[in-house]
Chains A and B, each alone.
Chain A
Amino acid sequence: MTTEFQSSKPIYMQIVDRIIIDILQEKQILGDKLPSVREKAVQIGVNPNTIQRAYSELERMSVVETRRGQGTFVIENSHLLDELRLSMQTEVINEYVKKMKEIGITKQQMISELQHYLKEED
């Protein structure tokens, strides 16, 4: 299936996020090769230039490296998972806090609501 994208964020950034989540969920293993740009483009139904941009961004973030004539590989670095998880977390928390503020929830309420929610879940 081709993938659906949110309308507000660049498509290449959404692909970056998905690849990072795949790495965190170990669907994409450290040290392994990513699909070629064309393969990935066909897989998710996106322009290859967009995939290339996503791969370049991942390279800039030191998540992957391109080896000449071989392709793009996830960097084999045991700290990578922790770093990625941390940066994803910050992003999710930012979003949470921003949305809660938008609907007029105080910091205290955010914490107590979250604690309450987590208790219910257990």
Chain B
Amino acid sequence: MSILMQDVRKKYGNDYALKNVNLTFQKGKIYGLIGPNGSGKSTTLKLITGLIFPDSGNVTLHGHTVTRKTSVDIAYLTELDMFYDSFSVQETINYIASQFSDFNRNKAELLVKEMKLENNKKIKSLSKGNRARLKLVTTLARDADVILLDEPFSGLDPMVRDQIVKSLLQYIDFDNQILLIATHEINEIEPLLDEAIALYYGEVIGQEKVEDLREQKGLSVLQWFKQIIGTIEEDN
């Protein structure tokens, strides 16, 4: 059970979104894709979902090339949200359950309770924090092999963030799932990660086990990230 990216290049127009990316993701681990805006984090996630395809190189899931069909095994929380304003929380959950055969209604119910969402509330009346909570509910309730979260904390207050972190830890199935979180909020995410992958202008400029960084180099992920960016910019 793994995701493999080999020599992946992706261009938008004349600009490289990713160049020569080689990465492996294995189950039971939480990976952080970190980097500033425009570094290729979202592109990487989209390539794994099969929403876009590489110009060259390969992306495989469990040994099969990623296509639109392999996306059934992937739960993807996008930066955008795609809820219908006139639906209630319950209707939204029903709708999503009808779209994904791996949707686990029990899990969804537990998550809704934990996130203190009201089933009969309309989407349009939800606060930003509650919309983000619902997004997470609909993603985590799937028994998918892979969970991809694109900026799950952006614009949320620390209380909501804490709750999302806790639900993540509670509901991830560590024996069977791969979790990838793309974010530029490095400090907030660090305690959650097994490994950090640093992206910068479409290239992987570093990959480290978080605890090894601290133990061997005495650096937090953010310090490490700043350090490697510093050396790159000096060279240029």
Contacts and interface: CB of A to CB of B under 8 A. Distances in A.
Contacts, number: 57
A41 to B, nearest CB: 5
A45 B29 CA distance: 15
Contact of B169 (A7, A11, A41, A53): A41
A50 B211 contact: yes
Contact of B211 (A7, A12, A42): A12
B191 A46 contact: yes
Contact of B214 (A1, A11, A45, A47): A11
A89 B169 CA distance: 34
Q: Which of A2, A5, A12 has the most CB of B within 10 A?
A: A2
Contacts of B165: 2, 45
Contacts of B218: 8
Interface in B87-141: none
A14 to B, nearest CB: 9
16 contacts: A2-B165, A2-B191, A7-B219, A8-B218, A8-B219, A42-B166, A42-B169, A42-B170, A45-B191, A46-B191, A47-B30, A47-B169, A47-B191, A47-B210, A48-B169, A48-B174
